[in-house]
Chains A and B, each alone.
Chain A
Amino acid sequence: MPTTRTGPHPLAVGAVVLLVAMIAAALWNSDESGTGARQVGESAGAVAAPVAALPPPLPGASCAPTVTNPGGDNNYREDAPFDVPLGRGLVVTGLVRDTACRPLPGVPVQVWLQTALGSERENRTTVLTGPDGRYRVSTDPAVAQFGEPNVHVAHDPDDSPWRSVWQRHVLRADDTLAVVDLTLAPVS
């Protein structure tokens, strides 16, 4: 019985090593919470600045329009109930402006998220921004959905003069405030 040892083919070893390196690179280059998703809860430093503290935009100022991020329209439905509270414990708010950085009052914004009592597919409401351009939704705290608590904010009415935009961002389950600002670009 010969006792020669033959190891795995060098090509096989090289291919596996290359595969491991590619997987490591793909994981290293991925966004922890998904492309473009950021922490919007107060635990990550999010603060809704008091309106009085906001200086009026300078003439000629320009704000970059908010870009829909991947997954932003997950579970979106147009027919959200109007201005219904989704519970208490978390406030989702944000400032809606145009690209000249002027607050936009009376703009519909839909918010949807998973809470202990409502799945992300059912738990939604549409509210209008106030005179200061802010929307505000009171809800139960977010719970992990597909691995992490997340909140969606969108603007997408049929007859809006502003382009539709969808956002998906993440927060922590114990956050009591989440801030998602929108800058809307005109349709034409």
Chain B
Amino acid sequence: MRVLVAVAALGGALLVALALAAPHLAQASPVVVVSTLAACVAVAALAVQPWLTRRRVGAHVRVGGIVAALVAVHVVALVVESPDDALYSMSPDGPTRARMALFATVLLVVVTLLGLLRRRLPWSAATWRFVHGSLAGLVVVLGVGHAVIIQGALDGWGEAVLVVLGGLGAVGVVVRLVRVLRRPATPPGDTTAHDRGQVRTEDEARG
């Protein structure tokens, strides 16, 4: 786990360094710089996010909030920089990359709300985990995917780092989903059916 966090932190630092070193940001307005750097950090956070569901649910919740805030900064900064281009990108006529980003953003809102409303939803733990996890996987693939195909601050080596971080996050989603969904279910009628907001993993259950 520590290795994963270290890899993601290193990746995030690399993204920030590569973006700042790229000619693309050399003449860019501070708003664009802020938007780009917020997105770089968000990608690194997304890479560790699924792995944190194992024993570190508190951190998972906090990092989730940070990702949502960073993406909000990223999007709002782009709207401030150029409302015309930002609104065009979010329209049905926007380029493929913008459509990926739009879907990823909407899904991130849904995934965050699912996290906040976990205890209020009358869903079984398995259903909640499947929906939250699979939609989060889409967020990683679409969000990092749009960053990879976009031309700008992160081309060349930046794309390679993005793919590694995105891959780390996507593999994490699949590994964790398979793991938690294979686990024996909580018996019906158990008052802890929804875990009261705490994901009790099999690792904890074992010892």
Q: Which residues of A contact B (CB under 8 A)?
A: 1-9, 12-13, 15-16, 19-20, 23, 26-27, 30-37, 70-71, 73-75, 116-117, 119-121, 143-149, 173
Chain A, Cβ-Cβ closest to B151? A144
A148 to B103, CA, bound (A): 19
- Given A4-B184, A9-B123, A144-B24: A74 touches B29 (CB 8 Å cut-off): no
Q: Is the beta-carbon distance between A5 and B184 smaller than 8 angstroms?
A: yes
Q: Is the beta-carbon distance between B91 and A116 smaller than 8 angstroms?
A: no
- Given A27-B96, A119-B29, A146-B82: A8 touches B130 (CB 8 Å cut-off): yes
Identify which of B13-21, B52-60, B131-139, B156-164 touches chain A: B131-139
A64 to B29, CA, bound (A): 40
Q: Is the beta-carbon distance between A6 and B84 smaller than 8 angstroms?
A: no
A155 to B183, CA, bound (A): 65
- B94 part of interface (Cβ distance < 8 Å): yes
Q: Which residues of B contact A (CB under 8 A)?
A: 23-24, 26-27, 29, 78, 82, 84-86, 88-89, 91-100, 103, 123-124, 126-127, 129-131, 134-135, 138, 142, 149-152, 181-185, 187
28 A-B contact pairs sorted by A residue (CB < 8 Å): A5-B185, A6-B124, A7-B130, A7-B181, A8-B124, A8-B181, A9-B123, A12-B130, A16-B130, A20-B138, A27-B96, A27-B99, A27-B100, A30-B99, A31-B95, A31-B96, A34-B94, A35-B92, A35-B93, A37-B95, A70-B91, A71-B94, A145-B85, A147-B89, A147-B98, A147-B152, A148-B95, A148-B150
Q: Is the beta-carbon distance between A147 and B95 smaller than 8 angstroms?
A: yes
CB distance from A12 to the nearest CB of B (A): 5
A147 to B82, CA, bound (A): 13
Cβ contact of A32, chosen from B29, B96, B142, B152, cutoff 8 A: B96
Chain A, Cβ-Cβ closest to B142? A23
- A-B CB proximity, top 5 nearest: A70-B93, A8-B130, A35-B93, A74-B84, A144-B151
A6 to B190, CA, bound (A): 14
A to B contact number (C-beta, < 8 Å)? 120
A33 to B88, CA, bound (A): 12
Q: Is the beta-carbon distance between A8 and B131 smaller than 8 angstroms?
A: yes
Given contacts A12-B127, A34-B93, A147-B95, 19 further A-B contacts (CB under 8 A): A4-B185, A6-B124, A8-B124, A8-B127, A9-B124, A12-B123, A19-B138, A20-B138, A26-B99, A27-B96, A30-B94, A70-B88, A75-B84, A117-B27, A146-B86, A147-B97, A148-B95, A148-B150, A149-B151
CB distance from A63 to the nearest CB of B (A): 24
Q: Is the beta-carbon distance between A116 and B184 smaller than 8 angstroms?
A: no
- Given A1-B187, A32-B96, A121-B82: A7 touches B150 (CB 8 Å cut-off): no
A51 to B29, CA, bound (A): 41
Residues of chain B contacted by A2 (CB below 8 angstroms): 184, 187
Q: Is the beta-carbon distance between B103 and A8 smaller than 8 angstroms?
A: no
A15 to B92, CA, bound (A): 22
Q: Is the beta-carbon distance between B152 and A71 smaller than 8 angstroms?
A: no
- Given A70-B88, A71-B88: A23 touches B93 (CB 8 Å cut-off): no
Chain B, Cβ-Cβ closest to A36? B93
Residues of chain A contacted by B96 (CB below 8 angstroms): 27, 30-32
